[in-house]
């Protein structure tokens, strides 16, 4: 059974039809890159998967659970889906360690000591072990994003959703974040990324999903799809970004 | 000639008035901020009916004179069968007044929290209550702390009005003393300095609490 399943998902913002019947099946361990023009509905799609946005028709299941925007359901989903944002969204009044420990302690009800161990292990993983007691403001964008990844990993999610997580970074800081993602992909983490990093999508990703006008316009194995696009729209898009 | 020594025999009167003002101030500051916090959270995140109720309350209080609010509670409510002592009426009026003004101030603080912070808490599985207390409150209060401090001082100074319903506060003491010894200049000058001292003390307390609450500011 697939880990994430979308069946004929339609989403409207008022009269604005943003997702027009999305069908998508994602298996555990896949690294999916969602690409497409601005406004094609990439973020909306991602935010529907973990219940941040409501959809009006169709169905989404995650690990067998139906996805809805009900509070209880969103909290249950949060146990298996992590999300990383473009602007990090670290909590400014907490140290890096506290940022990571918070959810394991108050959501998973782990002890302080246990949560601290998890936090240290996750920081180690993203290469920031020495920043445990720093405040987010003191870190570079790349470091902040790696802390955000560590914070999501501390909940041991089955899927990580990443919405353009390198777009707010200075070019020289993009690499360190992508390296962490690559490592996660190697370890078998399921990743669903909205990204403009075509090289990353091709080299690390397993599948590329091209969104156009609220539809999954074309999808397939990342190397094949990017080197041999079938639709004119994807050809045009690849031509424009490369 | 000024005769401050004529006031010495009234030290007790001033002191007891001062204590009443201090007591009411501390109590109403705590209750008023608590009221303002829950109203601000309701107005910002609550059910539409709650939001409208808060709006009506805030506008009602902010657009009427405090003394009328006080008189209404003390002289008006008994006709509905609710009889309050002057002290009780003052406590309620001051709390309601500070509550309304602090609602607006605290709401500005809540408003300043980026939506992304709330979403980040949500996708980590936190309940909204946890998000409010752990994620939103500290940075929100930090933003508006100076304004909130000033408002509490304004309400403390405004509490002078409660002497009108014969609560024996600091202003009541001043009125009493000058009516006895006709040293209006001295009485009110001393009283003014006592209020000034109270304002400084209140600001100091707020600063100390702020230093604790927002220690991360210093650290970074
Ligand atoms: N909260 C909202 N209210 C109304 N319309 C919205 C909202 N969020 C997004 N939209 C609209 O939905 C459409 C899809 O937006 P979405 O953010 O999913 O696009 P995107 O593919 O992520 O674009 P980008 O590459 O710019 O991030 C856009 O036309 C956008 O204007
Ligand atoms: Mg987007």
Reported as a single tens digit per residue, the pLDDT across B147-159 is 999 999 999 999 9
| pLDDT score, position A87 | 95
Q: Which residue in B114, B124, B135 is closest to A107 by CB distance? A: B124
Instruction: Please give the average per-residue pLDDT across A138-151, as a whole number.
Output: 95
Cα–Cα dist A93/A70, whole Å = 28
d(CA B119, CA B123): 6
Rounded-to-integer distance, Cα A181 and Cα A176, Å: 9
A38 ligand 1 Cβ < 6 A? yes
Query: Min CA distance, B28 vs chain A (Å)?
Result: 28
Ligand nearest to the CA of A34: 1
Q: How far is B139 from chain A (nearest CA, A)?
A: 7
Return the closest-CA partner of residue A236 out of A91, A5, A35.
A35
d(CA B97, CA B57): 10
CB contact under 8 A, B220 and A103: no
pLDDT at B1: 66
Question: What is the best residue among A9, A10, A14, A18 to mutate for testing ligand 1's pocket, by most ligand atoms within 8 Å of CB?
Answer: A18
Cβ-proximal residues to A23 (8 Å cutoff; 6+ apart), any chain: A6, A7, A8, A9, A216
Q: Looking at residues A157-183, what average pLDDT do you find?
A: 93
Domain assignment present for residue B49? The answer is yes
pLDDT value at residue B215: 84
Let me know if residue B219 belongs to a domain: no
Residue B70 is part of which domain span? 4-214
pLDDT for B85-130, tens place per residue? 999 999 999 999 999 999 999 999 999 999 999 999 999 999 999 9
* DSSP notation for A32-81: EEEEE-TTSSHHHHHHHHTTSS--SEEEEEETTEEP---HHHHHHHHTTE
Q: Is the pLDDT of residue A165 over 90?
A: yes
- The pLDDT-based confidence of B216 (bands split at 50, 70, 90) is confident
Choose the residue to mutate in A43, A69, A161, A237 for probing ligand 1, maximizing ligand atoms within 8 Å of C-beta: A43
In chain A, whose CA is at the least distance from the CA of B128?
A: A71
Q: How near does any CA of chain A get to the CA of B211, in Å?
A: 13
| Residue A195 beta carbon below 6 angstroms from any ligand 1 atom | no
Residue B88: CATH number of its domain: 1.10.3720.10
User: How far, in Å, from the CA of A163 to the mean position of ligand 2?
Assistant: 7
> What does the pLDDT average to over A151-170?
95
Residue A164 alpha carbon, nearest atom of ligand 1: 27
Q: What are phi and psi of B60, to 5 degrees?
A: -60, -45
Taking the CA atoms of B56, B59, B61 and B64 in sequence, report the sign of the dihedral they define.
Answer: negative
Q: Is residue B220 part of a domain?
A: no
Reported as type and span, the H/E element at residue A115 is: helix A112-125
- Taking the C-alpha atoms of residue A238 and residue A14, their distance in angstroms, rounded to an integer, is 31
- Min distance A240 CA to chain B CA atoms (Å): 30
Checking if the pLDDT of B220 tops 60, the result is no
- For residue B184, the CA-to-ligand 1 centroid distance in Å is 69
In a domain, B13, yes or no: yes
Note the ipTM here.
0.93
Nearest residue (CA) to ligand 1, atom 28:
A39
φ and ψ of A206, to 5 deg: -95, -35
DSSP annotation of A28: T
Q: What is the CA radius of gyration of chain A?
A: 18
The answer to whether the CB atoms of A89 and B119 lie below 8 A apart is yes
What is the number of domains present in chain B? 1
For chain A, the straight-line distance linking the first and the last C-alpha, in angstroms and rounded, comes to: 36
Which of A22, A44, A168 should be mutated for ligand 1, with most atoms under 8 A from CB?
A44
Contact A78 B219 (CB under 8 A): no
Residue B220 is nearest to which of A106, A137, A155, comparing CB atoms?
A137
Q: How many CA atoms lie within 13 A of B218 on its CB side?
A: 7
Sorted by where each starts, the structural domains of chain A and their CATH numbers stand as 29-54+68-80+158-242 (3.40.50.300), 90-156 (no CATH)
């Amino acid at each position: 059974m697939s880990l994430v399943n979308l069946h004929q998902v339609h989403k409207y913002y008022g009269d604005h039809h943003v997702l027009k019947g999305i069908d998508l099946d994602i298996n555990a361990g896949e690294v999916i890159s969602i690409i497409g023009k601005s406004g094609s509905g990439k973020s909306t799609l991602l935010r529907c998967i973990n219940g941040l946005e409501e959809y009006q028709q169709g169905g989404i299941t995650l690990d067998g659970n139906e996805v809805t925007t009900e509070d209880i359901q969103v909290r249950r989903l949060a146990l298996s889906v992590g999300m990383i944002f473009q602007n990090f969204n670290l909590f400014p009044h907490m140290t890096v360690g506290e940022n990571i420990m918070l959810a394991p302690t108050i959501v998973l009800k782990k002890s302080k000591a246990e949560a601290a161990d998890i936090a240290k292990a996750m920081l180690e993983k993203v290469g920031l072990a020495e920043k445990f007691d720093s405040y987010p403001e003191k870190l570079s964008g790349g470091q902040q994003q790696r802390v955000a990844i560590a914070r999501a990993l501390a909940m041991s999610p089955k899927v990580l959703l990443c919405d353009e997580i390198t777009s707010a970074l200075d070019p020289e800081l993009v690499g360190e974040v992508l390296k962490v993602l690559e490592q996660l992909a190697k370890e078998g983490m399921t990743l669903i990324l909205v990204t403009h990093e075509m090289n990353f999508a091709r080299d690390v990703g397993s599948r590329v999903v091209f969104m156009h006008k609220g539809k999954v316009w074309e999808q397939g194995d990342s190397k094949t799809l990017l080197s041999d696009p079938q639709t004119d729209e994807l050809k045009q898009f690849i031509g424009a970004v490369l | 000639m000024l005769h401050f020594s004529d006031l010495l025999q009234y030290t007790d009167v001033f002191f007891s008035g001062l204590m009443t003002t201090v007591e009411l101030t501390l109590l109403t500051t705590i209750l008023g901020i608590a009221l303002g916090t829950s109203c601000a959270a309701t107005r910002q995140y609550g059910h539409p009916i709650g939001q409208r109720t808060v709006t009506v309350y805030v506008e009602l209080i902010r657009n009427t004179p405090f003394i009328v609010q006080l008189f209404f509670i003390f002289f008006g409510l008994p006709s509905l069968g609710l009889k309050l002592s002057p002290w009780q009426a003052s406590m309620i009026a001051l709390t309601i007044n500070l509550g309304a003004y602090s609602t607006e101030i605290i709401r500005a603080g809540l408003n300043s929290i980026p939506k992304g912070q709330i979403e980040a808490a949500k996708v980590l599985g936190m309940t909204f209550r946890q998000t409010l207390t752990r994620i939103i409150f500290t940075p929100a209060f930090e933003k508006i702390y100076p304004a909130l401090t000033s408002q509490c001082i304004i309400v403390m100074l405004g509490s002078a009005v409660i002497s009108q319903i014969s609560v024996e506060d600091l202003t009541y003491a001043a009125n009493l003393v000058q009516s006895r010894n006709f040293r209006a200049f001295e009485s009110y000058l001393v009283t003014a300095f006592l209020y000034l001292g109270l304002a400084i003390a209140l600001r100091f307390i707020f600063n100390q609490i702020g230093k604790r609450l927002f220690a991360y500011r210093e650290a970074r």
